[in-house]
């Protein structure tokens, strides 16, 4: 099995899924099946993760040079926050403090966004 892919790989998959969404049916399922077969890691390329990769591309296209500062778990958690302003707040705060995943969880669960 290959090592854990980089954040840029996930961003690229999200970009491909987003660009092909109008050209074929079940594009998320197709990418999930293809990458699960090719890399042999069905957990990493589930339909839900492919959907997160698409949302990742859609929400972070302008931060391309800073993508590697966080892990995939950071981005999955940030994308689960429905409010875009709140998500951007926690992203910026995490960048400023160079927060670990656990510190990001702590910030969100302690509602730093609502305190400011």
Helix 72-79 vs helix 7-20: crossing angle, to nearest 10? 40
Q: Find the mean pLDDT for residues 9-18.
A: 89
pLDDT in tens, 35-71: 888 887 778 888 888 899 999 998 887 666 677 888 8
Confidence of residue 7 (pLDDT cuts 50, 70, 90): confident
CA dihedral 13, 78, 7, 12 (to 10 degrees): 20
Has this prediction a pTM greater than 0.85?
no
Q: Find the mean pLDDT for residues 111-116.
A: 86
Residue among 68, 23, 26, 73 nearest 52 (CA): 73
Residue ranges covered by each domain of the chain: 1-67, 70-116
């Amino acid at each position: 099995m290959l090592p854990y892919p980089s954040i840029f790989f996930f961003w690229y998959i999200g970009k491909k899924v987003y660009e092909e969404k109008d050209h074929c049916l079940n594009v998320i399922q197709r990418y999930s099946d293809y990458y699960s077969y090719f890399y042999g890691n069905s957990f990493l390329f589930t339909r839900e993760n492919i959907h997160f990769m698409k949302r990742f591309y859609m929400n972070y296209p302008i931060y391309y040079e800073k993508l590697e500062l966080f892990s995939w778990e950071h981005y999955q958690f940030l994308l689960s926050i429905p409010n875009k302003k709140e998500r951007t707040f926690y992203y910026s705060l995490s960048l400023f403090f160079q927060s670990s995943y656990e510190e990001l969880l702590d910030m969100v669960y302690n509602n730093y966004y609502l305190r400011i």
